[in-house]
Structure 1
Amino acid sequence: MRLRALLETDALGLRLLGGQDELDRTVRGVMTTDLRDPSRYLSGGELVLTGLAWRRTPEDSEPFVRLLAGAGVAGLAAGEAELGAIPDDLVGACARHRLPLFAVHETVAFASITEYVVRQVSGERAGDLAAVVDRHRRLMTSGPAGGGPEVVLDLLGTDLDMRAWVLSPTGRRIAGAGEPLSTGAGAALAAEHLAATRGGRRAPHRVALGGTTYSLFPVRVPGHAASPGGQTGELRERALSDWLLAVEADAGEWGAPRLDLLQGVTQLIAVERDRRDAARTVRRRLAQEILELVQSGAPPAEIAARLRVAAPVLLPGRGTAPHWQIVVARVDWDGEGGEGESGAVAQSLLEEILVDPVAAGLESGDRIAVAHSGGEAIALVPMPAPEAPKDEDGTEQAGGGAGGLQADVLLAAVRDPLTAGLADDGRLTLGVSAPVQSAEGLRGALEEARHARRVAAARPGRVCAAGHHELASHVLLLPFVPDDVRRAFTARLLDPLRDYDRRHRAELVPTLEAFLDCDGSWTRCAARLHLHVNTLRYRVGRIEQLTGRDLSRLEDKLDFFLALRMS
């Protein structure tokens, strides 16, 4: 801003006392001081505000003004509250050193002048930076990438002192300059953003987290830039697909230039989003072709040939034939169909879920191949073949460790933000197969993942998952038992024990759990509970007496086991 702008603002109430010919000087900042020598704190271009407490005699004005002029300040504004009027010796010193001098009326606070100057200067710098952002965006659109969003986020930090990060819908860091957000903070911001978007609130969304205010700007998926208050299905898709730009600042205090700047930054990031999605097209097509062969019952040799083509793309640089795992995901909405839309959203979410939550950057998901058919998304996940365990003589044992993806682990870092995005009308269910070693096992793995997803769908909650190991145990059956049957079964077996524990503090239920967990071993169970074996025998006898069951019989042990799991 220019010095003359101060005189054009009536609210500041400034009067020019000298320096009419110097009003085109540029103001780059503001400083309030009553030091006799403030020069070491000046860098040039400041408007200096002073209450004149440094002036004890008329001779003090000349050295003070000389120091300011030598530091290259833009102008001096002196308050009238201390002396009632600006002394002539100060006016004369400023005239000799060609330093513009303003009088500040006693009713005007220095803080008001400081706030005005800072706001104007910041707005000008934001406008200049907006031009840089726009040039950067044009370069990235028309030619080779110019450094990606990291460059512009770094400019925001260095030029405007704004820390900013690009986050995925689950809160994973995609880009950011400086110190990274913690995983928990990223997930919390993503959850707030998803909830605000589903609620149709206008961006930017302001969030207070840990005593810090963040402003959240959506990075719109191309073709989905509708305004808030749009159709329900449109809001759903946007909420679960948008990236977001999180800025450590309160956008409610910004003017139009800075808001325009951040809008330009989100458009630039959208260009990178386009590039990322285009890069995934090949992997998506590979997954689609392989899964179509699997579902159509193609010969294993044909599927194996296609897998050999896919392996170098999904696991570059690996010479070992990989094992494969299949993950199936589905998004369902209450009251509507929309399978096509749900399949695309499920595909986008599954790609995000399969990325390591601590991995950062645009290319962190470059080994993920997800297809979608109808309302279902299906991921073909390659894994390096695990080393088989060996005997003491070095001979490989049969059936090496399975390893692979675990259903609950996949959702651990993303459950909260996705629950916010699904709100009260959506569900995400996920099923994970066991790893398979060849093309012959892929059809079975696909069916296994689909069965596991149906087990997850029978559970309560907005975001649920189940793995292959749950298809071979009681866990497979329990979700499908009606609630009234569950309650009656557990009440008949466990209520007598709970009532007795309440009255006598006998801890019969914990004793029962430990006894079953130790496979009925008296010695191990007594050691775990720090009891004498005779005390344990007395407690088990009391359990049998109260329930009419015999814990030496397999059938009764199984009934107790299931009752405890359903309670």
Structure 2
Amino acid sequence: MRRGTRYGALLGPLLAGGATPALVTRAARGLGLPERGRYAVVVLGTPVPDAAVVEGPDADGSRWWWGAAEGSPGEVEGSPGAAEAREGGREVAVVLLGPAGPARAAARLRELGAGPGGVSPVVGSLAQLGAARRLAGTALLTCEPGSREIVRLDERLPAALLVSRPELSTRLLAEVFGPLLTLVPAERSLLVETLEAWLECGGSVGRAAARLGCHRNTVFNRLRRLERLTARSLSRPRELVDLVLALDVLRLSSAPP
């Protein structure tokens, strides 16, 4: 995993998007990268660990280039605001993937204690790095506040849709969970925790009760109360989708449930 001003200067136009073919060719030569290959972009919400910046490929053959900092979309190293973005800890890497693909890249970052971070889907050329950077940034936004998650966009597509349209996400939360949000925090947290456990247990009341350490009737009663408050049934697929998406919005908000 490499880092340096030269790398940032070469990667910056690619990560900004819309680089001309001549710029792509020049960057490929300067970085020693193929113009076409299996690439992913990583965006971290905290400074990259020192252990991540080493020469040579990883064990699976992937090669990393750190050198761009991101504040708002379009801010890359060498552009106005990039130094401040670096201070804020949001950093970007380009990865020429090995055989294991982006899953291994995400695992490597977890091993190094990095995070939170988002990993883009695979793109097929240096010219597509701008789009990949935007998608990696969206993946980062799906990380729970305060977490150290490293997530791939393809694992978080519903949540990515929500964070991409914050005004609709806010409306969804108010429409679905409005009455729930008026409860005192402890009461609200209890119902949210029960819904999460029920979903994680595949809709099994018995397994959710075992996880929560309570009687199955307690779980059943909490879920029925949640249905009454939200005017949505857990047994109707479309209404269940509303509840799951609203739960994602609540999870991604800075406020606790």
TM-score (norm 1): 0.29
How many residue pairs are counted as aligned between the two chains?
A: 214
1:296 to 2:21 alignment: yes
SS in 2 for 1:342: coil
What code does the residue aligned with 1:433 have?
S
Alignment partner of 1:479 out of 163, 181, 184: 163
Which residue is equivalent to 2:131?
447
- The answer to whether the 8 A contact 1:326-1:445 is kept is no
Mapped partners of 2:102, 2:169: distance in 1: 38
1:228-277 deviation digits (Å, cap 9, x = unpaired) = xxxxxxxxxxxxxxxxxxxxxxxxxxxxxxxxxxxxxxxxxxxxxxxxxx
5+ residue gaps in structure 2? 35-53, 251-257
Query: Counterparts in 2 of 1:143-162, with a 5 A limit?
Result: none
Deviation at residue 281 of structure 1 after TM alignment: 6.0
Mapped partners of 1:523, 1:538: distance in 2: 13
Which residue is equivalent to 1:518?
201
Deviation at residue 525 of structure 1 after TM alignment: 0.9
Alignment partner of 1:323 out of 43, 59, 62: 62
Query: Counterparts in 2 of 1:271-420, with a 5 A limit?
Result: 280=4, 283=7, 296=21, 306-307=32-33, 314-315=55-56, 322-324=61-63, 329-331=69-71, 341-342=79-80, 345=83, 349=86, 379-381=93-95, 385=98, 401-402=104-105, 403-405=107-109, 410=114
Mapped partners of 1:343, 1:445: distance in 2: 20
1:171-214 deviation digits (Å, cap 9, x = unpaired) = xxxxxxxxxxxxxxxxxxxxxxxxxxxxxxxxxxxxxxxxxxxx
- The answer to whether the 8 A contact 2:138-2:164 is kept is no
Alignment partner of 2:212 out of 529, 552, 567: 529
Mapped partners of 2:90, 2:188: distance in 1: 45
1:554 to 2:237 alignment: yes
Mapped partners of 1:442, 1:486: distance in 2: 33
Query: Counterparts in 2 of 1:258-273, with a 5 A limit?
Result: none
Mapped partners of 1:381, 1:344: distance in 2: 20
- The answer to whether the 8 A contact 1:353-1:411 is kept is no
What code does the residue aligned with 1:322 have?
G
1:433 to 2:117 alignment: no
Mapped partners of 1:522, 1:288: distance in 2: 51
1:538 to 2:221 alignment: yes
Mapped partners of 1:468, 1:399: distance in 2: 8
The change in CA–CA distance for 1:545 and 1:538 in structure 2 (over 3 A counts) is same
Which residue is equivalent to 2:50?
none
Deviation at residue 307 of structure 1 after TM alignment: 2.5
1:311-339 deviation digits (Å, cap 9, x = unpaired) = xx9418x8x7832457753345xxxx9x9
Mapped partners of 2:215, 2:163: distance in 1: 38
The change in CA–CA distance for 1:561 and 1:400 in structure 2 (over 3 A counts) is closer
Mapped partners of 2:199, 2:95: distance in 1: 37
5+ residue gaps in structure 1? 1-278, 355-377, 389-397, 413-429
Mapped partners of 1:506, 1:353: distance in 2: 31
1:494 to 2:177 alignment: yes
- Over the residues paired in the alignment, what is the CA RMSD in angstroms? 5.5
SS in 2 for 1:534: helix
Deviation at residue 555 of structure 1 after TM alignment: 1.7
Mapped partners of 2:115, 2:119: distance in 1: 12
Deviation at residue 508 of structure 1 after TM alignment: 3.0
What code does the residue aligned with 2:120 have?
S
**Which has the greater radius of gyration?**
1
Mapped partners of 1:504, 1:454: distance in 2: 32
Which residue is equivalent to 2:47?
none
The change in CA–CA distance for 1:442 and 1:511 in structure 2 (over 3 A counts) is same
The change in CA–CA distance for 1:538 and 1:434 in structure 2 (over 3 A counts) is same
What code does the residue aligned with 1:529 have?
L
TM-score (norm 2): 0.54
Which residue is equivalent to 1:566?
249
SS in 2 for 1:539: helix
- The answer to whether the 8 A contact 1:325-1:404 is kept is no
- The answer to whether the 8 A contact 2:56-2:63 is kept is no
1:327-352 deviation digits (Å, cap 9, x = unpaired) = 753345xxxx9x965276379x39x9
The change in CA–CA distance for 1:562 and 1:442 in structure 2 (over 3 A counts) is same
- The answer to whether the 8 A contact 1:314-1:382 is kept is no
Mapped partners of 1:504, 1:344: distance in 2: 44
Which residue is equivalent to 1:254?
none
Mapped partners of 1:442, 1:542: distance in 2: 52
The change in CA–CA distance for 1:295 and 1:561 in structure 2 (over 3 A counts) is farther
Mapped partners of 1:552, 1:322: distance in 2: 47
- The answer to whether the 8 A contact 2:121-2:154 is kept is no
Mapped partners of 2:84, 2:187: distance in 1: 52
Mapped partners of 2:122, 2:188: distance in 1: 47
Mapped partners of 2:13, 2:61: distance in 1: 18
What code does the residue aligned with 2:80 have?
S
SS in 1 for 2:234: coil
Deviation at residue 399 of structure 1 after TM alignment: 9.3
What code does the residue aligned with 1:451 have?
L
1:500-528 deviation digits (Å, cap 9, x = unpaired) = 77898994333222212323122321211
